[in-house]
Amino acid sequence: MAKRNAVRNNEARTGKTAVRRPLMTTQAWKAAVDDRTAHIGIIGMGYVGLPLMRTYCNAGFSCLGFDIDDRKVAQLNAGKSYIKHIPSAMIKDVVNAGWFRATSDPADLHSCDAILICVPTPLTRTREPDMTYVESTAHLLADHLQRGQLIVLESTTYPGTTRELIKPILETSGLKAERDFFLAYSPEREDPGRQDHTTATIPKVVGGFGPASKKIAAAVYGAAVSRVVPVKSCEVAEASKILENVYRSVNIALVNELKLLFDRMDIDVWQVVEAASTKPFGYQPFYPGPGLGGHCIPIDPFYLTWKARQYDMSTRFIELAGEINTSMPEFVVAKVGEALNTKKKAINGSKVLVLGLAYKKDVDDIRESPSIELIELLRERGAKVDYNDPHIPKTPKQREHNLGMTSKKLTPAMLKSYDCVLIATDHTDYDYPWIVQHANLVVDTRNATKGVKTGRKKIVKA
């Protein structure tokens, strides 16, 4: 083991690719996994790929991170993180120890035994699966595929992707799945910012294209995570991930719809959820909010909707949940209007401070964040909008949006200068009693001010 690792470490240090011996049998794979000589390649060093690399390095494997973004590659090789909850110190440690190297040269993937794909799977403008990242990765791999390699797709996608899309592209290499290389699907279950689970402790569902692929993929994951859940096929694994996300989307929509009803009935939905949560069985709490955000819940269910059309089915729960969840920012803006009205003010011409730009608390990710929609809706109605987010000093350029805003520093005087403070994300760092004390009016979409005792008359829940 020491010898093979020395080769890998030398490779990581020198940037030169070592010659790999193909691991063609499950026994050879088992030995390479047991003695940690299997070299792990990860494609896409983002919110999923980086924690996965950490998990494999912690388990004693050497890793290669491949990304098409040269800036990320340079930052990683300099021991720097670009994701808030992944410390630079960790990256520096594994780079300095020779356990990890990043690259944008696909030829470096020749040295990897297992290659795990963690590239984005967004929606197109017409809300259909955008498979361009997955497809281009598959083409790139087909050009560099080596006998005996294990290829695993981790990106969230519709059932059938691995077999119908990835396999034919990889086989243009002349190598056959299950005979010359191994192919599997294992969905990522990353939840950025979560403290009670890590990539290593979250059970990993694994579906193989064939029995050998399944066995080898299960062994590769089993060495790094606490529990592997092998399933019958890639399709079962793909569908299980979509089910998890549909489940969240539908239940969040349910509680969001109840929020609208209970608001009219003058019942506090958060108190209702808290009371219902005391039932020790048969109920799991979901919380209302200003709308869905993040890379997963607002997007992934529509991968299934798209696939269902090929089977002459419409996924009515998914569509309805999407409709309700995407209407939530409009409800929040209406609430801001009502709240300002009580002060004899209109949205038009008012100064509004949005607190929290991230799609959920304590993360620095603004993908699909409802805060962006809130800012745009308020601006359309003539409000002058600023934001504060301790995790996002300035708004990054996105595919659909480029707000070009910078986070405003919170002070008592600045809070007072806004007609309305809109809590869109309940970051832990915020001092809510202090915010309420200095604000003129607070619209709270997250029940973040629950514990605030003084100044409750200034608070409107939305």
The CB-of-333 to ligand NAD minimum distance in angstroms stands at 27
Quick one: 133 or 287, whose CB is closer to ligand NAD?
Answer: 133
Choices 170-178, 184-192, 213-221, 313-321 (CB under 6 A): range interacting with ligand NAD: 184-192
DSSP designation for 41: E
Is 234 a residue that touches ligand NAD (CB under 6 A)? Answer: no
The CB-of-376 to ligand NAD minimum distance in angstroms stands at 22
The CB-of-138 to ligand NAD minimum distance in angstroms stands at 9
Quick one: 137 or 213, whose CB is closer to ligand NAD?
Answer: 137
Is 69 a residue that touches ligand NAD (CB under 6 A)? Answer: yes
Among 118, 219, 252, 273, binds ligand NAD (CB under 6 A): 118
Helix, strand or coil, per DSSP, at residue 59:
coil
The CB-of-258 to ligand NAD minimum distance in angstroms stands at 26
CB 156 within 8 A of CB 241: yes
Q: Which of residues 4-43 bind ligand NAD (CB under 6 A)?
A: 43
The CB-of-427 to ligand NAD minimum distance in angstroms stands at 17
Whole-number Å distance between alpha carbons of 321 and 247: 10
Is 193 a residue that touches ligand NAD (CB under 6 A)? Answer: no
The CB-of-133 to ligand NAD minimum distance in angstroms stands at 4
Residue 83, sorted as left (phi over 0), alpha (psi -120 to 50) or beta, turns out to be beta
User: Given 3-state DSSP classes, what are the helix, strand and coil percentages for the chain, each rounded to the nearest 5?
Assistant: 40, 15, 45
Residues 263-302 as x/- pattern, contact with ligand NAD by CB under 6 A:
--------------------------------xx------
DSSP designation for 165: I
Is 358 a residue that touches ligand NAD (CB under 6 A)? Answer: no
The CB-of-155 to ligand NAD minimum distance in angstroms stands at 3
Is 133 a residue that touches ligand NAD (CB under 6 A)? Answer: yes
Among 5, 62, 155, 371, binds ligand NAD (CB under 6 A): 155
Among 5, 37, 62, 121, binds ligand NAD (CB under 6 A): 121
Nearest residue to ligand NAD, by Cβ distance, number only: 46
Q: Write the DSSP assignment of 201-256 as a string of letters.
A: TS-EEEEESSHHHHHHHHHHHHTTSS-EEEES-HHHHHHHHHHHHHHHHHHHHHHH
- Which residues neighbour 313 within 8 Å (Cβ) at sequence distance 6 or greater? none
Known catalytic residue: 296?
yes
* C-alpha 177: how far from chain center: 29
SS3 sequence of 186-213: CCCCCCCCCCCCCCCCCCEEEEECCHHH
Query: Any idea which residue has 């929609």 for tokens?
Result: 373
Quick one: 117 or 332, whose CB is closer to ligand NAD?
Answer: 117
Choices 13-21, 161-169, 188-196, 319-327 (CB under 6 A): range interacting with ligand NAD: 188-196
**Exposed, middle or buried, 196 (CB in 10 Å: 0-12/13-18/19+)?**
exposed
Choices 68-76, 204-212, 259-267, 419-427 (CB under 6 A): range interacting with ligand NAD: 68-76
Is 119 a residue that touches ligand NAD (CB under 6 A)? Answer: yes
Choices 92-100, 130-138, 222-230, 281-289 (CB under 6 A): range interacting with ligand NAD: 130-138
Among 59, 68, 175, 346, binds ligand NAD (CB under 6 A): 68
Is 47 a residue that touches ligand NAD (CB under 6 A)? Answer: yes
Nearest to 209 by CA among 163, 240, 166: 163
CB 416 within 8 A of CB 442: no
Is 356 a residue that touches ligand NAD (CB under 6 A)? Answer: no
- 316-341 vs 370-380: helix axis angle to the nearest 10? 50
Nearest to 244 by CA among 292, 204, 300: 300
Nearest to 293 by CA among 424, 116, 150: 424
Catalytic residues: 296
- Using CB under 6 A as the criterion, which residues of the chain lie in contact with ligand NAD when the complex forms? 43-49, 66-69, 72, 118-121, 133, 136-137, 155-156, 188-190, 192, 295-296
